[in-house]
Amino acid sequence: ARVISACFSFSLTRSYSLDMFIGFSWGVGFGIFSAIDWAMATDVLPSEDDFGKDMGVWTTAFVLPQVIAVPIAGHLLDSFQRYDRDENMGYSVIFILAALYFLVVTILIKLQ
């Protein structure tokens, strides 16, 4: 919930000081998520002999979506900045989209 609210907050604010506070809050939330996520992943690995390989696959699954998302976000940023340069509409769209992705993933995880 902290990460989702931080993304929505980034899309609304225009204050540097407030952005720094929101960024800190997002970082704490993401750090907690990452620590728990990695701890759970290491507990469910099938074999200690293949630990390195399995963690490599885990890392690829974690990083690959980030690599794919950057060009998409860049395109969205450019497209929406053309409409309203002064209000940074492109960044607002990207952060709202990120918050929606986090929300959808949270719902999908809870359904399982």
pLDDT tens for residues 70-108? 899 899 888 888 877 667 788 888 888 888 988 898 898
- When pLDDT is averaged across residues 25-54 and rounded to a whole number, the result is 85
String of DSSP letters for 11-58: HH---HHHHHHHHHHHHHHHHHHHHHHHHHHHHS-S-STTHHHHHHHH
Instruction: Read off the pTM.
Output: 0.65
pLDDT for position 105: 86
